[in-house]
Amino acid sequence: MGVWIEAKSSNTKHVINNVKAADIQLAEEDLAKIDSVYPEPSVSEPLALW
């Protein structure tokens, strides 16, 4: 996919949960649902930053 999200926390429990989230495996059906709701952009344009 090429997407990386860096979660930040100073709370130990949150840090542990953030690491565990990297082990989640989505089924092809789930990925297809996500892709249908959030399709790939039709043009290559950076996201607007405030």
Of the candidates 44, 5, 47, the residue with the CA atom closest to the CA atom of residue 24: 5
User: Model confidence at 23, in pLDDT bands (50, 70, 90)?
Assistant: confident
Answer whether residue 41 shows pLDDT above 60.
yes
Of the candidates 36, 37, 35, 6, the residue with the CA atom closest to the CA atom of residue 21: 6
CA 3 to CA 40: how far, in whole Å?
12
CA 10 to CA 16: how far, in whole Å?
11
Of the candidates 25, 29, 26, 22, the residue with the CA atom closest to the CA atom of residue 7: 22
Look up residue 38 and give its DSSP letter: S
pTM here is 0.48
